[in-house]
Amino acid sequence: MRPGMPLLLDLLRGQASIHDGSERDWLAVLDLAEQENILPWTAALLRAMPDVRPFPQLGQRLREIHRDAQISAFFWASALRSILTDFHDRGIPVVVLKGPWLTERLCGDAALRPCCDLDLLVRPQDVIQAETLLADLGFSPRRLRDDHERPWRRGAVTVDLHHDVEHPLAFNFDVQRAWERTEPSPFHGVPARLLSPADELVFLCLHSARHCFERLSHVLDLTFAFRSLPAPPAGSHAERNSEITSVLALGEAMAARLDPRGAKPMSADTGSRNRRHLEELADQLWLERITRPCASVDWRAKHEFYLRMETHRARRFFRRLRHGRILLDRLIDADFAFAERFHLRQRWQVWLLRPVRLLFHVGRASPSPP
């Protein structure tokens, strides 16, 4: 395991006492927790321990983390509230994904989970209006609209404006039906909407899968989610869609590896062979995560992970076809960066050069398209 990981896992599972490690060990645990994006929660667990006094340096660090987390949570919650107010004033329905609101609902305190951007979901027919609003608020788009989102930035604040949660050819979340099931809910007094609890669980599992469970934060989110959110009901789209069911099953399997006590049997039937495959995949993933840091996940890595989730060769074949179909529709930063080498910036020129780039695999991501 990675240094500090055994102690960190014991702490997360509620099986550690302060005397299980030296001050240096615990400081290393905090460093590891920061790498895994779970620092505030880890620090809160340590602060809750009966006696941290023998470790003054640790105590100081915990106070700093607590303060920083409260300041950060205030910043993001205030920014979110302000933006939701503007969306409400413009009459644009918006669903809040993840972020400080999710942490408040699942953990009781927005400061317990780091936030680095805001994710908002609008209906496809409202995208243009929402983008106009963001532009009026001083946000600038960071790149072209992607499979399902487009990041906008104003100073230190990034808003990922979603029209879907993943490309439908990759995973069909059926966002239209999900919108019908959304529920109105005020965020700090401002009207907004939330996914239904079952849809939110699907979304969180899909989100973690999109990130290949690269950090412990992606697993920790699911342990909270599976404790609090119900599985999709029988007969629902998620329950009938085998790919979504697999995502749920994998999410549950990963959550169970971090928190075996919180695991509950899935109501959806994924089939015994598929279930075995997903459990084996979860074992592999878990072993990978606790033994080495995850490499940065890009679009290719994400879709290769989706392939790993497929049990049957035929399904993997059809998924490859769908991935190719997705690629045909989109230009990405690497395409523009490659075309820029020849001082070409028109979309039709970038399209023409794309096969050349793909053929020679020379593309590299660039920060923003022209």
Contacts with other proteins by CB under 8 A lie at: 37, 67, 70-72, 74-76, 78-79, 81-82, 85, 114-117, 137-138, 143-144, 146-149, 151, 154-158, 210-212, 214-215, 294, 296-300, 302, 327, 330, 332-334, 358, 363-366
CA dist 80 → 14, 101, 116 (Å):
32, 9, 12
Bridge partners of 153? Answer: 140, 158
For residue 216 the two structure tokens come to: 């412990």
User: Shortest CA distance to 367 belongs to which of 143, 69, 141?
Assistant: 143
**Closer CB to other proteins, 137 or 290, in the complex:** 137
**Closer CB to other proteins, 75 or 179, in the complex:** 75
**Closer CB to other proteins, 257 or 357, in the complex:** 357
CB of 74 to other proteins, least distance (A): 5
**Closer CB to other proteins, 16 or 353, in the complex:** 353
* List of residues 6+ apart from 345 with CB closer than 8 A: 336, 339, 370
- Name the H helices within the chain: 5-12, 23-35, 39-47, 56-90, 99-107, 127-136, 175-181, 197-210, 216-228, 237-240, 242-258, 272-291, 299-309, 313-329, 333-340, 347-360
Specify whether the CB–CB gap between 327 and 352 falls below 8 A. no
CB of 271 to other proteins, least distance (A): 28
* List of residues 6+ apart from 257 with CB closer than 8 A: 219, 282, 283, 286
**Closer CB to other proteins, 147 or 252, in the complex:** 147
CB of 207 to other proteins, least distance (A): 11
**Closer CB to other proteins, 13 or 302, in the complex:** 302
**DSSP state at residue 177:** H
CB of 261 to other proteins, least distance (A): 28
Specify whether the CB–CB gap between 140 and 154 falls below 8 A. yes
CB of 180 to other proteins, least distance (A): 25
Specify whether the CB–CB gap between 62 and 23 falls below 8 A. no
**Closer CB to other proteins, 122 or 157, in the complex:** 157
CB of 355 to other proteins, least distance (A): 12
CB of 98 to other proteins, least distance (A): 11
